[in-house]
Amino acid sequence: MRGTAFLFMITAIVFVLLGMAWGIEMSVRADFKMTPAHAHLNLIGFVIGAVFALYFVVTPQADGGLAKALYALWAVTTVLMVVGIYMAVSQQGEGLAKIASLLGVLTMLMFGWIVLKNGIGRTEA
């Protein structure tokens, strides 16, 4: 695994390790009110990141400038989503969660464009 695929997978692993540690911490305290933020860290951070990583492994011709922009947008979106949901659950406002949700849609639209442009799988040379 090389290039953007590697960046996606390493970052996804960091996100899921943080999510797992957070889940354990919530369990120790028996306080699960931040479960929505924790779940989004695992889902958007790990699952989506790992899917993107595997796509770029299977479709290496798609790895380029747009893939790197997708990586940056996904990583920023993940962090803003988790912080935004944390703020919303703790009654500090929902604005950041709303913005992050829109960025999440933009992330998936960008990924969709990459898939439409490059297909899935290696192209024959």
Exposure string for 57-69, b = 16+ CB within 10 A, e = fewer: bebbebbeebbee
For residue 125, pLDDT beyond 70: no
For residue 61, pLDDT beyond 70: yes
Residue 125 forms part of a structural domain: no
User: Residues 34, 67: contact at Cβ < 8 Å?
Assistant: no
Q: What is the mean pLDDT of the chain?
A: 95
Q: Across the chain, how many H-helices and E-strands are there? A: 5, 0
Please report the pLDDT score of residue 2 as a whole number: 81
Residue 107 forms part of a structural domain: yes
Residue 26 forms part of a structural domain: yes
Domain total of the chain? 1
Cα angle at 14 between 12 and 19, to 5 degrees? 95
Residue 17 forms part of a structural domain: yes
- Which domain, by its residues, includes 105? 3-118
Please report the pLDDT score of residue 123 as a whole number: 80
Please report the pLDDT score of residue 1 as a whole number: 65
